[in-house]
């Protein structure tokens, strides 16, 4: 009745007064705990909340969590993983100083990127149907791969307006179609009268071209599909083909950027970030990796200072690395590819000599330990720490696989044990690209072995995708391409990649099902 309405009006007025009494940063903090759809609902309910609901400080963190690839607000240039992460941190810090500002246009970016994700997912589903149904049924008014809009559903009206991709025509008496929703990948059975034709299937090649054309902006959406689809399904296999092509092209561009940036090339973890994101785009979190490296460096700083003798600083790094955080060589699964991925090494605290050395050196350099990796070492890579003496015989050497610190005599004996000879070139400093190339050679060997001994089709295809991607990245590090004067190594990599791609193409159509 009227009395009830008056009471509601008074409550709403009281709530408005209380809301107006809150500082902008308090309102932003409260709303930061809400999911995205609740923020939008809140802004529709109270005009006071509209500016906050569009503020960068709310949407920048969501952008960072949701998308690890592609452009960012206020930045269209391609950035290396570490630089991209730093830019995101800087933008968020600036936004926090002005809780109601939206200079970065983060809300609009979020909305547009969500729409782009939907388009990528629709194209992936269309490609999958084109592979499953290469011959279109002319008598079918909604052939597989058609994008449709759901309309006039009485039983589940919340689905009305949703887009989906048509699959098989159902075998029941009524005209029903299998329809997959692009966001959840939920499979529905919908009557034909409740489906509105939006656009036809572009065909396999055209759908693939459009996804690849989207570049890095397609990676997050594809990785999510690959993560939630059923193992062994045709959809997962086709999406992994798309994901492999897009991520390896992203990685190639990233390597070329890195090789052209002397200021970042020698930061060995930067190359590790590229390999990690290429290998496992759905799980490799750059911000988390950088945070863990900073955490390790802070633990070392608690034990020593940059003014302390170099040996003391080395021992402090070792104490944190091997005793406090218990990093160690993976002797049980030495040839596990994850032992070469920076994010996995930091998470599992296990690795092989070269990956553990990258982490050790990244931490040591943060506390001003002068060191570099010995990429010329045969079989087992070590770290050389320069002590400021007359040269090689005054320096010390660290084995990040075992934790041992060696003087020159011990280093000589170690080299003789693994190589059968000693050459001072084993201890020479080489370019960072030589370290990166060695990481990729290790992975190429691992993927080759996995492909030859895989017991399942998905396992073999995964290894072949890895091998093809490693070849392309190695070419980028060499700094040359097919149109340049090709030396023997480049020719070998190009030939190997073409052979692998040929095998993958022959395997792609294997199997049936969704």
Which CATH number does the domain housing residue 341 bear? 3.10.620
Domain boundary (451, 481, 501) is at 451
Decide if 158 is inside a domain: yes
Least confident of 134-143, 407-416, 495-504: 134-143
Task: Kindly state the average pLDDT of the residues 28-38.
Answer: 84
Q: How far apart are CA 49 and CA 30, in angstroms?
A: 11
What is d(CA 157, CA 380) in angstroms, rounded to the nearest whole number?
63
Taking residues 291-298, what's their average pLDDT? 95
267 close to 82: Cβ distance less than 8 angstroms: yes
pLDDT in tens, 253-293: 999 999 988 778 777 889 999 999 999 999 999 999 999 99
Q: Looking at residues 200-226, what average pLDDT do you find?
A: 95
In a domain, 10, yes or no: no
What pLDDT, in 10s, does the model give residues 107-130?
999 999 999 999 999 999 999 999
The pLDDT > 90 percentage for the chain reads 67
CA 204 remoteness from chain centre: 25
| DSSP E strands, 386-510 | 396-399, 404-406
Listed residues 413, 429, 451: the one ending a domain: 451
Separation in Å, CA 338 to CA 40, 274, 275, 278, 280 = 40, 14, 11, 12, 9
Q: Which of 248, 273, 307 is the last residue of a domain?
A: 248
Same domain, 343 and 229: no
Domain extent for 230: 211-248
Is residue 354 within 8 A of residue 271, CB to CB? The reply is: no
Q: Are residues 376 and 416 in the same domain?
A: yes
H-only helix segments in 33-98: 36-45, 50-53, 56-66, 81-96
Neighbours of 51 (CB within 10 A): 16
Q: Is the domain of 304 the same as that of 407?
A: yes
Residue 274 and residue 233 share a domain: no
Biggest distance spanned by C-alpha atoms of the chain: 97
Contact between residue 114 and residue 154 where contact means Cβ atoms under 8 Å apart: no
| 456 contact partners, CB below 8 Å, separation of at least 6 | 232
pLDDT over threshold 50, residue 10: no
Please tell me the predicted confidence (pLDDT) of residue 14.
45
The CATH number of the domain holding residue 188 is: 2.30.30.30
pLDDT tens digits for range 441-492: 999 999 999 999 999 988 999 999 999 999 999 999 987 444 444 578 889 9
Distance CA 366, CA 301 (A): 9
Instruction: Report yes or no on 310 lying in a domain.
Output: yes
Q: 139 pLDDT band (50/70/90 cuts)? A: low
Residues 299 and 422 in one domain: yes
Rounded distance between C-alpha atoms, residue 207 and residue 127, angstroms:
6
Q: Residue 387 pLDDT more than 80?
A: yes
Give the sign of the dihedral formed by CA 506, CA 507, CA 511, CA 512. Answer: negative
Residues 301 and 377 in one domain: yes
Tell me how many domains the chain contains: 3
Q: How confident is the model at residue 59 (pLDDT cuts 50, 70, 90)?
A: very high
Task: Please indicate, yes or no, whether residues 165 and 222 belong to a single structural domain of this protein.
Answer: no
Does 410 share its domain with 372? yes
State yes or no: pLDDT of 45 exceeds 90: no
What are 178's strand-pairing partners?
A: 189
Higher pLDDT, 482 or 222: 222
- The answer to whether the CB of 51 falls within 8 A of the CB of 22 is no
> For tokens 């993983």, what's the residue?
81
> Quick one: pLDDT at residue 436?
94
Give the per-residue pLDDT at 484.
Answer: 46
User: Which of 89-98, 190-199, 252-261, 373-382 has the weakest average pLDDT?
Assistant: 89-98
- The answer to whether position 346 is within a domain reads yes
pLDDT at residue number 499: 95
67 lies in a domain? no
- Say yes or no: 280 and 333 in one domain: yes
Residues 427 and 411 sit within 8 Å (Cβ to Cβ)? yes
- Is residue 86 a contact partner of residue 64, using CB atoms and an 8 Å limit? no
C-alpha torsion sign, points 310, 314, 315, 317: positive
Backbone phi, psi, residue 472, to 5°: -65, -40
Q: Report the candidate in 110, 75, 76, 80 with the shortest Cα–Cα distance to residue 91.
A: 75
Residues 6 or more apart whose Cβ sits within 8 Å of residue 386: 370, 371, 372, 395
CB-based contacts of 65, cutoff 8 Å, min separation 6 = none
Looking at the fold, whether 180 and 312 belong to one and the same domain comes out as no
Q: What is the three-class DSSP state of 222?
A: helix
- Based on the domain organization, do 289 and 242 belong to the same domain? no
Judgement on whether residues 295 and 376 belong to the same structural domain of the protein: yes
pLDDT in tens, 400-446: 999 999 999 999 999 999 999 999 999 999 989 999 999 999 999 99
Tens of pLDDT along 277-288? 999 999 999 999
Q: For residue 192, is it within any domain?
A: yes
**Is residue 34 in a domain?**
no
Q: What is the pTM of this model?
A: 0.88
Supply 78's token pair. 């391609």
Query: Tell me: the pLDDT tens digits for 329-378?
Result: 999 999 999 999 999 999 999 999 999 999 999 999 988 999 999 999 99
**CA 404 – CA 250 distance, rounded (Å):** 38
Q: Is the pLDDT of residue 196 over 50?
A: yes
What local confidence, expressed as pLDDT, does residue 477 receive? Answer: 93
Three-state secondary structure call for residue 176: strand
What is the model's pLDDT at position 482?
A: 44
Are the C-beta atoms of 24 and 100 separated by less than 8 Å? Answer: yes
Please report whether residue 21 resides in a domain. Answer: no
Q: Answer yes or no: are the C-beta atoms of 409 and 393 closer than 8 Å.
A: no
- Whole-Å CA distances, 7 to 12, 13, 15, 47: 9, 10, 12, 21
Distance CA 282, CA 333 (A): 23
Mean pLDDT of the chain: 89
Q: What are phi and psi of 166, to 5 degrees?
A: -75, 135
pLDDT of 503 reads 94
DSSP letter string over 454-465? -SSHHHHHHHHH
């Amino acid at each position: 009745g009227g009395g009830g309405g008056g009471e509601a009006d008074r409550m709403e007025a009281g709530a408005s007064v209380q809301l107006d009494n809150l500082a902008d940063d308090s309102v932003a903090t409260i709303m930061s705990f809400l999911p995205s759809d609740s923020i939008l609902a809140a802004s529709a309910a109270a005009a006071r909340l509209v500016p906050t609901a569009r503020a960068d400080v709310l949407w920048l963190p969501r952008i960072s969590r949701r998308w690890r690839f592609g452009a960012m607000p206020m930045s269209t240039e391609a950035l290396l993983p570490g630089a991209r992460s730093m830019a995101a941190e800087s933008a968020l810090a600036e936004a926090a100083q002005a809780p109601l500002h939206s200079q970065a246009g983060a809300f609009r970016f979020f909305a547009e990127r969500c729409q782009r994700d939907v388009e990528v997912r629709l194209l992936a589903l269309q490609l999958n149907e084109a592979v499953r149904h290469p011959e279109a049924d002319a008598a079918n008014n909604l052939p597989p791969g058609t994008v449709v809009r759901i309309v006039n559903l009485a039983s589940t009206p919340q689905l009305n307006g949703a887009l989906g991709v048509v699959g098989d025509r159902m075998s029941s008496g009524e005209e029903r179609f299998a329809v997959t929703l692009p966001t959840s990948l939920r499979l529905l059975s919908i009557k034909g009268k409740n489906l509105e034709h939006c656009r036809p299937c572009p065909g396999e090649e055209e759908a693939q071209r459009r996804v690849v054309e989207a570049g890095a902006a397609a990676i997050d959406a594809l990785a999510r599909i690959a993560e939630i689809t059923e193992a062994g399904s045709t959809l997962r296999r086709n999406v992994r083909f798309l994901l492999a092509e897009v991520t390896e092209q992203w990685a190639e561009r990233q390597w070329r950027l890195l090789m052209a940036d002397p200021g970042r090339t020698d930061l060995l973890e930067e190359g590790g970030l590229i390999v990690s994101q290429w290998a496992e785009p759905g799980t490799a979190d750059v911000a988390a990796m950088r945070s863990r490296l900073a955490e390790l460096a802070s633990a070392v700083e608690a034990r020593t200072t940059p003014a302390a003798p170099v040996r003391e600083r080395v021992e402090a790094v070792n104490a944190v690395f091997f005793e406090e955080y218990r990093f160690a060589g993976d002797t049980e699964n030495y040839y596990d590819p994850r032992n070469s991925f920076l994010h996995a090494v930091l998470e599992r605290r296990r690795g092989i000599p070269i990956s553990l050395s990258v982490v050790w050196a990244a931490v040591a350099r943060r506390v001003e330990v002068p060191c570099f990796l010995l990429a010329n070492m045969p079989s087992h890579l070590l770290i050389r720490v320069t002590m400021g003496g007359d040269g090689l015989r005054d320096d010390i050497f660290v084995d990040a696989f075992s934790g041992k610190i060696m003087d020159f005599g011990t280093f000589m004996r170690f080299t003789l044990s693994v190589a059968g000879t000693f050459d001072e070139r084993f201890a020479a400093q080489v370019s960072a690209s030589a370290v990166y190339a060695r990481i990729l050679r290790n992975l190429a060997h691992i993927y080759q072995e996995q492909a030859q001994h895989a017991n399942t089709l998905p396992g073999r295809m995964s290894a072949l995708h890895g091998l093809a991607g490693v070849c392309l990245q190695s070419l980028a590090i060499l700094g040359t391409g097919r149109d340049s004067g090709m030396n023997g190594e480049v020719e070998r990599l190009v030939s190997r990649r073409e052979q692998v791609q040929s095998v993958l193409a022959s395997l792609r159509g294997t199997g049936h099902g969704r």
